[in-house]
A and B are shown apart, each in its own frame.
Chain A
């Protein structure tokens, strides 16, 4: 552990508190197997370091894209998945939905750059049971994984409030982003991401193994459903809903 001046440290020391204190019951049983998914190598490294510093936890696999996360989850059946929401090819939300269907007992924690009110409900609907922002991750990740390992959820007070206020929004008729618009199908959401990443309809077709005509039909439906009129509006929608990173 490299020393650092303590006067201006604004966050707690990296000596993991959980490794020095009470005995983790898990130490005498199987390790907790965690799959991590983030497209930045350096962030996966940081996640790995944090997880390995906790006794009884291990990283069983690492994914760089949502697609990899889904196939690795299938191969490894992890106990817990910690997944970034914005990854290329298939974002964390879509991946969470597919993994949850496949492995309903796996606890899923979603990591995102910023806190988004809209995302909280989408995340729960997708099957995730924990939501952490990257800047609070050091403080919250351990708690989130512990909660999931014990079949509990982890949501900050703010996120919990959003979940609870869901009904009252509908009652008061307040304008909710996903309110009056038709919901996109999973395939359409996948295509929103590919288009916002700069792929043409032809490239989308190749990526998904569908015909160009089908891709273009999807594209037209998406633009109509979301009331968008240009690619730049689509990109803005995708950024706003954290389907891609800004």
Chain B
């Protein structure tokens, strides 16, 4: 039974996600956090299969928390929740180890699809993200890593 950790500083978003998951009992909620630091601790303690995490939170942001969790447990699938879809954001998300990039405006409709895809080892990007952005990011991620400045 895949277990999910929800991380977002907005309680309505956490409630909304919980409410959707209620209809799908094969998914289990194993914890919630409001910030990156708590997310990392909870992930360490509970080893969720999936983490749904907001990119913009006070303190350690979602991208840095993704990097930390991914390094600690590469098998955890991380879906980043975001308001925006700039190419840099998408690129940074996947570089940090995320498996999914979900726009908040699509979250209700796309959540279950995103979960199914990442748990099957796939990568998920909101359909709203323009194709050229997706192509640029996948192209870049395929290139061998070399030293980059931030």
A interface residues with partner B (beta carbon < 8 Å): 2, 4-5, 7-11, 14, 39-50, 134-135, 137-138, 245-246
Q: Which residues of A contact B35 (CB under 8 A)?
A: 10
A45 contacts B16, C-beta separation under 8 Å? yes
Q: Roughly how many angstroms separate A49 CA and B17 CA in the complex, as a whole number?
A: 11
Chain B's nearest CB lies how many Å from the CB of A241? Answer: 18
B33 contacts A135, C-beta separation under 8 Å? no
Q: Which residues of A contact B33 (CB under 8 A)?
A: 8, 10
Q: Which residues of A contact B9 (CB under 8 A)?
A: 135
Instruction: Specify which of B16, B32, B108 is in contact with A49 (CB 8 Å cutoff).
Output: B16
Q: Which of B23-31, B90-98, B142-150 lies at the interface?
A: B23-31
B18 contacts A5, C-beta separation under 8 Å? no
Q: List 23 A-B contacts (CB under 8 A).
A: A2-B22, A2-B28, A4-B29, A7-B45, A8-B33, A8-B38, A8-B41, A8-B42, A14-B15, A14-B18, A40-B107, A41-B107, A42-B17, A42-B107, A43-B10, A43-B13, A43-B16, A45-B15, A46-B16, A48-B19, A50-B15, A135-B11, A245-B83
A134 contacts B105, C-beta separation under 8 Å? no
B12 contacts A50, C-beta separation under 8 Å? yes
Q: Roughly how many angstroms separate A11 CA and B83 CA in the complex, as a whole number?
A: 23
A5 contacts B46, C-beta separation under 8 Å? yes
Closest partner residue, chain B, to A10 (CB atom): B34
Q: Which residues of A contact B70 (CB under 8 A)?
A: none
If A137-B10, A138-B12 touch, does A42 touch B104 (CB 8 Å cutoff)?
yes
Additional 7 contacts, C-beta under 8 A, given A4-B31, A46-B13, A49-B16: A4-B32, A8-B41, A8-B42, A42-B107, A43-B16, A50-B15, A137-B12
B19 contacts A46, C-beta separation under 8 Å? yes
If A5-B46, A41-B107 touch, does A46 touch B31 (CB 8 Å cutoff)?
no
Q: Which residues of B contact A46 (CB under 8 A)?
A: 10-16, 19
Chain B's nearest CB lies how many Å from the CB of A141? Answer: 9
B109 interface residue per 8 A CB criterion:
yes
B interface residues with partner A (beta carbon < 8 Å): 9-22, 28-35, 38, 41-42, 45-46, 83, 104-105, 107-109, 111
Q: Which residues of B contact A44 (CB under 8 A)?
A: 16
Q: Which residues of B contact A48 (CB under 8 A)?
A: 19
Q: Roughly how many angstroms separate A180 CA and B46 CA in the complex, as a whole number?
A: 56
B30 contacts A4, C-beta separation under 8 Å? yes
A42 contacts B13, C-beta separation under 8 Å? yes
Chain A's nearest CB lies how many Å from the CB of B81? Answer: 9
B42 contacts A5, C-beta separation under 8 Å? yes
Q: Roughly how many angstroms separate A50 CA and B11 CA in the complex, as a whole number?
A: 10
Q: Which residues of A contact B11 (CB under 8 A)?
A: 11, 46, 135, 137-138
A45 contacts B10, C-beta separation under 8 Å? no
Chain B's nearest CB lies how many Å from the CB of A84? Answer: 10
Q: Which residues of A contact B20 (CB under 8 A)?
A: 42, 45
Q: Roughly how many angstroms separate A138 CA and B12 CA in the complex, as a whole number?
A: 7
Chain A's nearest CB lies how many Å from the CB of B120? Answer: 23
B109 contacts A41, C-beta separation under 8 Å? yes
B105 contacts A40, C-beta separation under 8 Å? yes
Q: Roughly how many angstroms separate A41 CA and B13 CA in the complex, as a whole number?
A: 10
Chain A's nearest CB lies how many Å from the CB of B67? Answer: 20
Chain B's nearest CB lies how many Å from the CB of A109? Answer: 13
A8 contacts B13, C-beta separation under 8 Å? no
Q: Roughly how many angstroms separate A14 CA and B35 CA in the complex, as a whole number?
A: 17
Q: Which residues of B contact A41 (CB under 8 A)?
A: 16, 105, 107-109
Instruction: Specify which of A2, A10, A45, A245 is in contact with B38 (CB 8 Å cutoff).
Output: A10
